[in-house]
Amino acid sequence: MVTHAVQDSVSAVTVTDEAADSRRRVQPGPSSGLNRERAWEVAAAVPDPEVPVLTIEDLGVLRDVAVDGDRATVTITPTYSGCPAMDAIRDDIVLALTREGWRQVDVRLVLSPAWTTDWMTDAGRRKLSAYGIAPPTGRAAARGPIPVRLAVKCPQCGSLDTREVARFGSTSCKALYECRACLEPFDHFKAH
């Protein structure tokens, strides 16, 4: 991991708050619940700022969490190279873990291995669909000179009779579709 790590615009983020220190009675350590499982749980609950129905775990953005005493190191990967949500996600992770008692939270950004929608959890796919965004179809890796595109199911009525209106949508990860059965427009999370 380390040799492939590309530490981008993110590095040590130090949080200081003296009032919090005085309120914090429990000494940090394994007995206080500052373990890796808890850190993962807290980081995994951070929502994506642009598709707030998904957590960063659902999206596959959360890659690793390491804990050393009261210090947590969280590794995330961007969905797209220019994804501007990474700064907000980083700050949200720092705030969430700090609130749970970690004294120092480092967020690392890695580019490799490159993110793919194949990492999206099944729970994430269901949540997207319920939210009105058609989840990615098929596997991103199936690529050739002639792209075979699977039909995208309308998240409103379930029809497969849909068409792409625009290849690009409100965020990098989405395209705009419309359903020919119920005539509703909808976002599709592109397989990537």
Partner 1 sequence: MSEQSLAGVSSRFARSTTDETSVVERGSAATETKRDDPHGAVTVEEVVLSAELAGAEGQAATADVAEYALWLGDDALILSQQLGAWIARAPELEEDVALANIALDLLGHARSLLRYAGSYDGRSEDDLAYWRDEPEFRCAWLFEQPNGDFAQTIARQLAASAYLFELYTRLQRSDDATLAAIAAKAVKEVEYHRDHAVQWTLRLAGGTDESRRRMVRAVGDVWPYVDELFRDEPLIDRLEGVAVRPSTLRAPFDAVIDAVFREAELEVPAGPVSSAGGRGGSHFPTLGYLLAEMQVLARQHPGATW
Q: Does residue 26 interact with partner 1 by CB under 8 A?
A: no
Residue among 33, 35, 158, 168 that touches partner 1 (CB under 8 A): 168
Residue among 26, 45, 95, 150 that touches partner 1 (CB under 8 A): 95
Whether residue 85 contacts residue 52, with contact meaning beta carbons closer than 8 Å, is answered with no
Whether residue 32 contacts residue 135, with contact meaning beta carbons closer than 8 Å, is answered with no
Residues touching partner 1, count (CB under 8 A): 58
Q: Does residue 12 interact with partner 1 by CB under 8 A?
A: yes
Residue 81 CB, nearest distance to partner 1 (Å)?
Answer: 3
Q: Does residue 165 interact with partner 1 by CB under 8 A?
A: yes
Query: What is the Cα–Cα distance from 79 to 88, expressed in whole angstroms?
Result: 14
Using CA atoms in the order 112, 114, 116, 119, what is the torsion angle rounded to 10 degrees? 0
Q: Which residue has the tokens 């350590």?
A: 29
Query: What is the Cα–Cα distance from 155 to 186, expressed in whole angstroms?
Result: 8
Q: Which residues bind partner 1 (CB under 8 A)?
A: 2-17, 19-20, 23, 47, 49-52, 78, 80-85, 87-88, 91-92, 94-95, 98-99, 110-115, 140, 143, 147, 165-172, 176, 192
